[in-house]
Amino acid sequence: MRKLALTATLATIALLSASPARADLLLRLTDGTTTVTVADGGGGDSNPLAGVITFIGSVGTWMTNVSTGFGSTAPTFTPGHLDLNSANTNTDGPGQLDILLTETNLTAPFNSFTMHFGETLSGTAGSTVDYRAWRDAGNGQFTQNVGLIGLLGPFGLGANSGSVTGFVAGGTPYSLTERIRIAATGAVQFSGDAELLPAVPEPGTLTLLGTGLLGLARAARRRTRKEPLA
């Protein structure tokens, strides 16, 4: 995927100067025992761009060649658009790894989101991977108990992809959280990309909506003409 290629390029850029951490965007990797949390521009972030976090390293028995989260302020991104990807994340034995991205204090009034997920998992039979996303009207970090937008998976070994659109009501500010979960029964290697973005009505839907509104306007005019004079 194009974002995996972009991540690999960004990961090779050295930090030119220190910058303050931005707590609205956080990347987290956890195996249930060891947890690594990286703030945008904070310690452990290998990416100099605002709105992008890249982690390279190990979490327990897991090793990630590069895991990157893109937030709403990333170059070419817009409010409500997140992307989480990981390349060559692997372990030599059974276990579980969650890769999460969260962004808080979002104010763009979106309630419908589309999730896209493409991934490849190789290794021990019975291993799986899934992708979930949440919209939290409480604006919490890494919220995973309310506001589920949708689920893709679990997928087994091989290459898989899918998309789903979900609606979660709520005002602003709010937070968005993405999670990729790898459940390994033995040695595995994973690469994938999970994208969350505001759902845009398809052209056909917009046409039907416009036609319906026009019909309502014409009906209202007809009723007005038929009203008897006082």
Read off the pLDDT of residues 2-48 as tens digits, 9 standing for 90 and up: 444 444 444 443 333 345 678 899 999 999 999 999 999 999 999 99
pLDDT at 11: 43
**Whether residue 176 sits in one domain with residue 229:** no
Q: How confident is the model at residue 201 (pLDDT cuts 50, 70, 90)?
A: low
pLDDT at 228: 53
| Full domain range(s) for residue 222 | 205-230
pLDDT of 196 strictly over 90: yes
Asked if residues 178 and 149 have their Cβ atoms less than 8 Å apart, the reply is no
Buried b (16+ CB within 10 A) or exposed e, 71-110: bbbbeebeebbbbbbbbebbbeeebebbbbbbbbebeeeb
- Among 85, 86, 93, smallest CA distance to 60 is for 93
Read off the pLDDT of residues 137-162 as tens digits, 9 standing for 90 and up: 999 999 999 999 999 999 999 999 99
pLDDT mean across residues, the chain: 86
Q: How many angstroms separate the CA atoms of 54 and 66, rounded?
A: 7
**Whether residue 121 sits in one domain with residue 107:** yes
**Whether residue 213 sits in one domain with residue 142:** no
Q: How many angstroms separate the CA atoms of 225 and 218, rounded?
A: 11
pLDDT at 124: 98
- The secondary element (H helix, E strand) that includes residue 159 is strand 158-167
Domains contained in the chain, number: 2
pLDDT at 227: 52
Q: How confident is the model at residue 77 (pLDDT cuts 50, 70, 90)?
A: very high
Q: How confident is the model at residue 218 (pLDDT cuts 50, 70, 90)?
A: low
Residues 98-125, mean pLDDT to the nearest whole number: 98
- The secondary element (H helix, E strand) that includes residue 225 is helix 203-226
pLDDT of 168 strictly over 80: yes
**Whether residue 225 sits in one domain with residue 122:** no
Residue 99: give its domain's CATH number: 2.60.120
**Whether residue 158 sits in one domain with residue 189:** yes
Residues 44-64, mean pLDDT to the nearest whole number: 97
pLDDT of 213 strictly over 90: no
**Whether residue 179 sits in one domain with residue 141:** yes
pLDDT at 26: 98
**Whether residue 220 sits in one domain with residue 138:** no
**Whether residue 78 sits in one domain with residue 147:** yes
**Whether residue 222 sits in one domain with residue 120:** no
**Whether residue 229 sits in one domain with residue 153:** no
